Amino acid sequence: EGGLLFGVNSADEKQINSVVAAGLGDRELDGYGLLVGQGVKNEMMINENDKLTLIFTKNDPSGFALTPKMKRFEVVSSFSSGLVAYDKSYLYTSVEALRKILEYDEGKFDGIHVFSDDPFADIEKISRELRLGQKAIGWWQQNGNFFSALALEKRALFIVLMLIILVASLNIVSSLLMTVMNRRQEIALLLSLGASKAEIKKSFFALGATIGGGGIVFGLVLGLFGVWLLGSFDIVNLPADVYGSAKLPMELSLLDLVMILVGAVVIVAFSSFYPAKKAAQINVLETLRNE
């Protein structure tokens, strides 16, 4: 089994991420202790204090050949990050033990993990300070294909949602057109009594806007309640082997919410405008003579 082994300094809590700290608890990674992911522990049926031999890619000369460097570790504990791919491939040990095995000098590392509250801004600051040949890579860049797929799915869902709203707006058009057809005589009478076509148009436009606006407000309240409900309780359980996480992540993007509301308002406005325009185009003389 292939994996990624990281060295941490358990004596300094600021250098340990929350997942590793939760797995260690009150213990420390001293000596050749090893902290394994829950996925590795389950697949290999490892228990605490078991011995685990790791084979490194660094080779040692042995006679006329090169043999991989091997070291026996003692499993201290395990951690669970909620991501299956992470738990199946990540292992942690003390940075001192890793330095001895790889024969690195003090202060020499293959790479350094930086945990930041504002990674998008801090990665630019770090990149400006790095020397030639060194590069800072963010977690969103390491998983570029995954985030590109999510962005594509997000755009597709937005288009599908707008189509659903468009189909629903046909109900507004049909109901307003039926109202116009049933009220032709009243509309013609109002026009003959001095009402302007603009006032008739505004009346039916306001009726359509009221129907559509009520639907938007009701849908917004229902959607926000659904986000809170799904985010607070484990109602939807995902297969971890497929999605990488067993919990459905819920995050409300303000930009997405505004785009959906603007799209819904535009569709409702167009749906209300056409029936209102038809109501103002009624022939007064013909309608009063025949109806």
The pLDDT tens digits of the residues spanning 96-109 come to 888 888 888 887 88
Residues 6 or more apart whose CB falls under 8 angstroms from that of 3 comprise: 40, 88, 89, 90, 91
| 240 confidence band (pLDDT: 50, 70, 90) | low
The CA-atom distances, in angstroms, between 44 and each of 39, 87, 163, 229, 278 are: 9, 13, 49, 37, 73
| Confidence (pTM) | 0.58
More confident site: 124 or 11: 124
Q: Which CATH class is domain 4-111?
A: mainly beta
Provide the residue ranges of all domains of the chain, joining segments of one domain with +.
Answer: 4-111, 116-142, 144-290
| 114 confidence band (pLDDT: 50, 70, 90) | confident
The pLDDT tens digits of the residues spanning 60-102 come to 776 667 777 888 898 888 888 777 778 888 888 888 888 888 8
